[in-house]
Amino acid sequence: MIWLGILAVIFSIVAFFEWHIRSLGWSPSVVDSPDLWVEQRKKASALGDKALILVGASRMQLDMDTQVLREKTKLEPIQLAIDGTSYLPVLENLANDPQITGTVLVSVNAYNMRQGIPKDTSVQWVNYYEQIKNRGIEPYRLINNKIKAWLNNSLVTHLEGAKPYTVVSKLAFTQKTAGNYLITHADRSRDADYKKVQMPNFYAARLQRHFGRAVIKDAKTFDEFFSAYQQAIKSTPVAGRPEFIKNLKHLIEVSNKIEAHGGKVIFIRFPTSKLVWEVDNKRYPKEKFWRVIAEKHPRSVNFSDYEKLKKFNAPDGSHLDYRDKKEFTTSLVKILKLK
């Protein structure tokens, strides 16, 4: 009976801090780890033509609603996108696997077709998958990963794998906060809540990273900051095509290899907006770059060609808010004719 009393006290304490930290704006979020990615990668092979494999980077993770994909296509979405890295190592790995016979959606831009380098997360995770795909993950580690994934996905006191004491000590005694704007789910899909970030600061930082350099220092107002980038974009030269053509050739070869063993590959150009879109369009004008992609691979969809896709506004210029994911994914599925 004493143990029951102790357990009741522990449960009450956990329940209180779960409620309290959530009331401060925080939500459960898992760690996007190599083991989590490998688990999804194995499903891609096991499911065969029932798999809907998502390849790319942050836009593929943030903009696609996996539940909508599952309901609308009757296929099983497999999230293999990896934030901030080249997607080609993942696509190459799929191409070398004859068990990949499902549909592969690839987030493609003219500027993101670079091949992987050793330090890329995608290269490291693919290598890790190759090391363990035959021998498998040790049973104790597999069970441990499953337990951790459940805890992280269900309890905010296990936020992104942190120890409950750490989460409670760091978050429970703060004032009201916005909380975490980015949430990673157990299937590796992500939600971004841009109401929880400070705008236009967040957008300004994204624009500067996307442009590649600081155009103005010590801007007194955001109007001055954005005006400086507007002018810089106007004088930005069009990107060279030789590297693009070489990379596109490799991308097409890899995609053809997947289709040769029964898969289907579709390229998607995801929405960008504001000055981020202006940067993209100035450096990689559609008629000189995307047109070539679509000619080489007709199964290609550019958001700017469809009213139902180009209406979406990316709060940071580059990614959709989670509130728009369901409608965007539904519209995209209809265009792709996946159902």
- Could you write out the DSSP letters of every residue in 29-77? -----HHHHHHHHHHHHHTGGGEEEEESSHHHHHH--HHHHHHHHSSEE
Are 94 and 73 in contact by the 8 Å Cβ rule? The answer is no
Q: Give the residue numbers spanning the domain of 152.
A: 28-165+237-336
Number of H helices, E strands in the chain: 15, 7
Query: Is 185 a member of any domain?
Result: no
Instruction: Give domain status of residue 222, yes or no.
Output: no
> What letter represents residue 141's amino acid?
R
H/E stretch holding 79: strand 76-79
Residue 263, in any domain of the structure? yes
Per-residue tokens: 120: 């890329």
Q: Quickly count: other Cβ atoms within 10 Å of residue 4's Cβ.
A: 8
CATH number of the domain at 59, please.
3.40.50.1110
- Separation in Å, CA 62 to CA 100, 217, 321, 324: 24, 31, 8, 10
Q: What is the pLDDT along the chain (339 residues), one digit of tens a residue?
A: 676 655 555 556 655 555 555 666 667 788 899 989 999 999 999 999 999 999 999 999 999 999 999 999 999 999 999 999 999 999 999 999 999 999 999 999 988 888 878 889 999 999 999 998 876 666 656 666 666 666 666 665 555 555 664 545 566 566 666 677 889 999 999 999 999 999 999 999 999 999 999 999 888 999 999 999 999 999 999 999 899 999 999 999 999 999 999 999 999 999 999 999 999 999 999 999 999 999 999 999 999 999 999 999 999 999 999 999 999 999 999 999 875
In a domain, 52, yes or no: yes
The reply to whether 2 falls in a domain is no
Tell me if 274 sits within 8 A of 314, measured CB to CB: yes
Structure confidence at residue 112 (pLDDT):
84
Q: How far apart are CA 254 and CA 174, in angstroms?
A: 50
**What SS3 state is found at 255?**
helix
190, 60 contact by CB (below 8 A): no
What backbone phi and psi angles, to 5 degrees, belong to 234? -60, -35
pLDDT in the model for residue 338: 77
- The residue among 85, 138, 63, 111 whose CA lies nearest residue 325 is 63
What span, in angstroms and rounded, lies between the C-alpha atoms of 77 and 52? 5
Residue type, 332: L
Count of all residues that appear for the chain in the document: 339
As a whole number of angstroms, the distance between CA 10 and CA 153 comes to: 20
Is residue 243 in some structural domain?
yes
How many folded domains does the chain comprise?
Answer: 1
Residue 226 inside a domain? The answer is no
Tell me whether the omega of the peptide bond preceding residue 315 falls within 30 degrees of 0, making it cis.
no
Domain annotation covers residue 151: yes
Contact 258, 104 (CB under 8 A): yes
| β-bridge partners, 52 | 77, 103
Q: Which residues of 146-175 are buried (b: 16+ CB within 10 A; e: fewer)?
A: eebbeebbebbbbbbeeebeebbeebeeee
Looking at residue 181, its pLDDT comes to 85
pTM confidence score:
0.88
